[in-house]
Structure 1
Amino acid sequence: MTTTAAASATGSELKATISVAASPAQVWALVTDVRRMGEWSPQVVRTLVLGGPVREGTRFANLNHQGWKHWPTSAKVVRFTPHSDFAFRITENRTVWSFQLEPTADGGTFVTHRRETPDGISAVSNLLVGRFLGGQETFVPELLEGMGQTLDRVKDHIESGV
């Protein structure tokens, strides 16, 4: 698949963007259904939501992978503004992942997918990434590429009407 998302890294922030021919409500329904994140993200294998519907404060667990290597993470939803802003913090490394949605003049949505490190990355996470995932120099570009793939897959799903 050709990547249509634009991706960039500035300091410790990673960002990918894409325009989707669907309303913010349609895009919101997909990106906040974290149980389906394995369909969009090339790193996520499975997500288990702990409790009821996803909203601010909801906790969930992910099983992630890089090739044959698998590892769990846990997360908590830290922002939940319907049709606009959805963010969750990964407990193990303190990163914040988010999707911001902006309506476009043509009735579509401009989507920004970010990974921020407002409190830095935990020492344990840095150690594990260095030892088992190729180090930050390798892992960060891989994350950035995966963010673009995530947005491409969301766009393809919505625009194909599947």
Structure 2
Amino acid sequence: MEWTGARYADQPTVEVATWIAAPPGRVWELVSDVTRMPEMSAELLSARWADGVTGPAFGARFVGRSRHAQLGEWETTSTVVACDPGREFAWAVGDPALPSALWRFGLRPDGDGTDLSQWMRMGPGRSGLSFAIDAMPDKEQKIVFVRLREFERSMSATLAQVKRRAEA
């Protein structure tokens, strides 16, 4: 990722990808099970389906609890906005019409395996990062850049965990 000088209002994105020696169905089982995601994420502490839902489905909601050294601990409710088994799993954090973030796993068959990508977009809704920007508006571009780099590192680590588990 290069320095872009992005502001939060620009809805900056980050994406990472890897190839996994496992079929899309196996990879899908891992990336669409939000209850197992905390095992593969340094920031996500817990996740549970809400409203009596027990698995991924379009419109399903889940509650996640996260922690960050500078931002503290918080809980969000997300809504599944794309659920195409073996191909795509995406969710909006907060209000689906004005999410604080949009996250997506994309899966594509490739030879004897799967190309897996993880993508996220900040905003357009307010997030915990908005409070840091409010407190230091002159440092907004640096705050956004640093957070995108954190997401990039975390997402790369998550994909490495998915790869390890899918290939086991």
Does residue 84 (structure 1) correspond to residue 94 (structure 2)? The answer is: no
Task: Check conservation: 2:13, 2:148, Cα contact below 8 A.
Answer: no
Structure 1 counterpart of 2:63? 61
Partner of 1:158: 166
1:122 CA displacement: 2.4
Aligned residue number for residue 148 of structure 2: 140
- Structure 2: distance between partners of 1:83 and 1:144: 23
Q: What amino acid is the match of 1:109?
A: T
CA 1:38/1:84 → structure 2, altered by over 3 Å: closer, same or farther? same
- Correspondences of 1:26-105 after superposition (within 5 Å): 26-50=26-50, 51-52=52-53, 53-67=55-69, 69-91=72-94, 93-105=99-111
Q: Hey, what does 2:113 align to over in structure 1?
A: 108
Q: Any gaps of 5 or more consecutive residues in structure 2?
A: 7-11, 136-141
Residue 21 of structure 2 corresponds to: 21
Q: Aligned partners of 1:124 and 1:35: how far apart in 2?
A: 22
* Segments ≥4 residues shifted beyond 3 Å: 8-11, 123-126
- TM-score (ref. length: structure 1): 0.82
Aligned residues: 149
DSSP 3-state at the match of 1:35:
coil
Gaps of 5+ in 1: 1-7
Counterpart CA distance in 2 for 1:155 and 1:142 is 20
> TM-score, with normalisation over the residues of structure 2?
0.79
Distance 1:71 1:84 in 2: 30
Residue identity matched to 2:94:
T
Once superposed, what is the RMSD of the aligned Cα atoms?
Answer: 2.3
- Distance (Å, rounded) in 1 between the aligned partners of 2:83 and 2:127: 28
| Cα displacement (A) at 1:31 | 0.3
Q: Distance in 1 between matches of 2:124 and 2:21?
A: 35
Shift of residue 129, structure 1, vs aligned partner = 4.2
Q: Secondary structure at the match of 2:27?
A: helix
What residue in structure 2 maps to residue 5 of structure 1?
none
Is contact 1:129-1:136 (8 Å) kept? no
